[in-house]
Amino acid sequence: MDTQDIKNRFGIIGNSPLLNRAIDVARQVAPTDISVLITGESGSGKEVFSHIIHQLSSRKHGPFIAVNCGAIPEGTIDSELFGHEKGSFTGAHEARKGYFEVVNGGTIFLDEVGELPLGTQARLLRILETGEYIRVGSSKVQKTNVRVVAATNVDIYNAVQKGKFREDLYYRLNTVPLRTPALRDRKEDIHLLFRKFIADFTDKYRSPNVQLTADAQQLLANYPWPGNVRQLKNIAEQIAVLEKERLIDAQILQQYLPYDNRSNLPVHVTSKGTDDFSERDLLYKVLFDMKKDMVELKKLVVEIVQNGVNSRIMEDNSPYINQLYREVDNTTPEQLATPPQLTIHRPPTSGPSEDFHFHTQEAEEVEEESLSLVEKESDLIRKALKKHKGKRKSAAQELGISERTLYRKIKDLNLN
Ligand SMILES: Nc1ncnc2c1ncn2[C@@H]1O[C@H](COP(=O)(O)OP(=O)(O)OP(=O)(O)O)[C@@H](O)[C@H]1O
Ligand SMILES: [Mg+2]
């Protein structure tokens, strides 16, 4: 069977040298019983290759099981893989065969093999070297004849260096390494794959065919595809189902490509750039509105501090403030109003524009005054002490605090 036959049979799309090389390795190693370690990013076809290896081997009529080592809890993985005896742990009501026993004569695909705990790694090494294993809770050595194809999408050699993966097992599994190339390393295949997937999905959903403009093709080729073929397939499906436009340009395509920050590639600059601008305009508008609200609120706070709540509400009856009160709670301004604390000195206001000037000016004046609580507090304490000629008891009384608190504050605020 040549490379093209394998592609046809297993639905592999692409002509890049890296892909052809991976298929070559699979074809050559398949008829042997050698363990294979498939490495490659998520969605790059590791599982597809494990099937190719099994199907092109003499075990093709035997069983094939794919086990995701990362998905099985650490406490049960030995039992899942190697089986257990009745009563070997709480809940082991029956004896159970493990996958290595069930798959005798076939192939086991150990996906995410880097996730295996160290104890399980030792058991796996023994099976690979001698075909021997022991069920959990048993002392009887059993034999099995299983071909192991393992896969990982992490840098497993890094795990070896950190002591998380046994070095001897790594070399044993990695007798023949097979690397599934990332999509971004075979850009020439991307459009081909996209067309194939679009054809499949438009067929499936009975939607009209989709074409890409030249700039969309370029965007497709330059996107980093962190989820590789699986991601490309998903996006083709979304477009086939959701997109109304049948001639897709880069701007439309961009909406389907999630932003990926590990690359400088996916940002697409259109000649018109209308979308970018409207989004930026919107943000500016939001910020501008917020600033306007802030100015209004500042004015209001300053006014209340200066004149007391009553003055501002009763005299001015500004719709803005009344609305604010209604928004804050349903209490009416009249209910909230308290007698003015300070004498009101306000120039007469005749119209809204003058009113506005007056408030901004006032706001500016007051902003220059310090609003620091510490300073205000020190100030008040000094005044109270002066008024009571240094008598702390009376000063504390006037300030509405205990004498002890006043002592502490004098000390803390360094008022001696
Ligand atoms: N060269 C290819 N041509 C066509 N389809 C492919 C190709 N490679 C992968 N696929 C498809 O992409 C999808 C993902 O492939 P697969 O499940 O083998 O990836 P994986 O490397 O095992 O991913 P993960 O690490 O997430 O488990 C599958 O639907 C598979 O059929
Ligand atoms: Mg997989």
pLDDT tens-digit readout, 302-320: 666 666 655 444 444 444 4
Whether 370 shows a pLDDT value over 60: the answer reads: yes
Whether 83 shows a pLDDT value over 50: the answer reads: yes
* Structure-token pair, residue 288: 């501008």
Q: Is residue 122 part of a domain?
A: yes
Mutate to test the pocket of ligand 1, among 12, 24, 36, 44 (most ligand atoms within 8 A of CB): 44
**Ligand 1, atom 16, residue with closest C-alpha:** 45
Q: How far apart are CA 98 and CA 9, in angstroms?
A: 31
Mutate to test the pocket of ligand 1, among 47, 64, 111, 200 (most ligand atoms within 8 A of CB): 47
Classify residue 315 by its DSSP letter. Answer: I
Position with higher pLDDT, 413 vs 48: 48
* Ligand 1 atom nearest residue 12's Cα: 3
For position 390, what pLDDT does the model report? 87
CA of 134 to the centre of ligand 2 (A): 28
Using the CB atoms, write b or e for 40-75: b if 16+ within 10 Å: bbebbbbbebbbbbbbbbebeebebebbebeebeee
Q: Is residue 138 part of a domain?
A: yes
Residue 241: CATH number of its domain: 1.10.8.60
Question: Taking a C-beta distance cutoff of 8 angstroms, is the pair 43, 182 a contact?
Answer: no
For position 13, what pLDDT does the model report? 96
Q: Are residues 172 and 208 in the same domain?
A: no
> Is residue 64 within a helix (H) or strand (E), and if so which, with residue range?
strand 64-68
Q: Is residue 134 part of a domain?
A: yes
Q: Are residues 349 and 256 in the same domain?
A: no
SS3 28: helix
Q: What φ, ψ does residue 304 adopt, rounded to 5°?
A: -70, -40
Q: Are residues 177 and 204 in the same domain?
A: no
* Ligand 1 atom nearest residue 196's Cα: 4
* Ligand 1 atom nearest residue 153's Cα: 25
Question: Taking a C-beta distance cutoff of 8 angstroms, is the pair 199, 209 a contact?
Answer: yes
For position 278, what pLDDT does the model report? 43
Q: Is residue 271 part of a domain?
A: no
* Structure-token pair, residue 150: 């393992």
Question: Which ligand minimizes its atom distance to the CA of 227?
Answer: 1
For position 288, what pLDDT does the model report? 53
pLDDT in tens, 174-225: 989 999 999 999 999 999 999 999 999 999 999 999 999 999 999 999 999 9
Q: Are residues 176 and 216 in the same domain?
A: no
Position with higher pLDDT, 261 vs 63: 63
Position with higher pLDDT, 190 vs 410: 190
* Ligand 1 atom nearest residue 229's Cα: 12
Q: Where are the alpha helices (DSSP H) in 15-117?
A: 17-29, 46-55, 77-82, 99-102
Q: Are residues 176 and 195 in the same domain?
A: no
Question: Which ligand minimizes its atom distance to the CA of 225?
Answer: 1
**Ligand 1, atom 13, residue with closest C-alpha:** 230
Numbers of helices and strands, H then E, in the chain:
19, 9
Q: Which domain holds residue 234?
A: 184-262
Residue 126: CATH number of its domain: 3.40.50.300
Whether 15 shows a pLDDT value over 90: the answer reads: yes
Q: How far apart are CA 31 and CA 243, in angstroms?
A: 45
∠ at Cα 281 (278, 282), nearest 5°? 85
For position 308, what pLDDT does the model report? 62
Q: Are residues 194 and 172 in the same domain?
A: no
Residue type present at position 377? E
Using the CB atoms, write b or e for 228-255: b if 16+ within 10 Å: bbebbbebbbebbeeeeeeebebbbbbe
Q: Is the CB of 154 under 6 A from ligand 1?
A: no
Q: Are residues 25 and 157 in the same domain?
A: yes
Position with higher pLDDT, 125 vs 259: 125
Question: Taking a C-beta distance cutoff of 8 angstroms, is the pair 38, 46 a contact?
Answer: yes
Q: Are residues 318 and 401 in the same domain?
A: no
* Structure-token pair, residue 302: 């300053």
Q: Is residue 270 part of a domain?
A: no
> In the predicted model, what is the mean pLDDT of the chain?
81
For position 398, what pLDDT does the model report? 85
Whether 327 shows a pLDDT value over 70: the answer reads: no
Confidence of residue 350 (pLDDT cuts 50, 70, 90): very low
Q: Is the CB of 13 under 6 A from ligand 1?
A: yes
* Ligand 1 atom nearest residue 227's Cα: 26
Q: Is residue 10 part of a domain?
A: yes
CA of 5 to the centre of ligand 1 (A): 18
Q: Are residues 214 and 334 in the same domain?
A: no
Which of 160, 181, 202 is a domain's end point?
Answer: 181
For position 414, what pLDDT does the model report? 83
* Ligand 1 atom nearest residue 49's Cα: 18
Q: Is the CB of 43 under 6 A from ligand 1?
A: yes
Q: Is the CB of 233 under 6 A from ligand 1?
A: yes
CA of 52 to the centre of ligand 2 (A): 14
For the chain, the C-alpha Rg in angstroms (whole number) is 38
List the strands of the sheet with 147-152, edge to edge.
64-68, 107-111, 147-152, 36-39, 176-179
Region 21-41 average pLDDT? 96
Position with higher pLDDT, 300 vs 401: 401
Which of 262, 297, 329 is a domain's end point?
Answer: 262
Q: Are residues 247 and 312 in the same domain?
A: no
**Ligand 1, atom 23, residue with closest C-alpha:** 43
Q: Are residues 46 and 89 in the same domain?
A: yes
Number of domains in the chain: 4
**At a CB cut-off of 8 Å and minimum separation 6, what does 228 contact?**
40, 41, 42, 43, 44, 45, 182, 183
Residue 376: CATH number of its domain: 1.10.10
Which of 228, 262, 296 is a domain's end point?
Answer: 262
For position 106, what pLDDT does the model report? 98
pLDDT in tens, 164-187: 999 999 999 998 999 999 999 999
Q: Is residue 296 part of a domain?
A: yes
Q: Is residue 367 part of a domain?
A: no
For position 401, what pLDDT does the model report? 85
Q: Are residues 203 and 122 in the same domain?
A: no
CA of 42 to the centre of ligand 2 (A): 7
CA of 266 to the centre of ligand 1 (A): 22
State which residues have CB under 5 angstroms from ligand 2, the bound ion.
Answer: 47
Q: How far apart are CA 401 and CA 23, in angstroms?
A: 85
Region 14-21 average pLDDT? 97
For position 104, what pLDDT does the model report? 97
What one-character-per-residue DSSP string does 204-255 give? HTT----EE-HHHHHHHHHS--TTHHHHHHHHHHHHHHH---SEE-HHHHHT
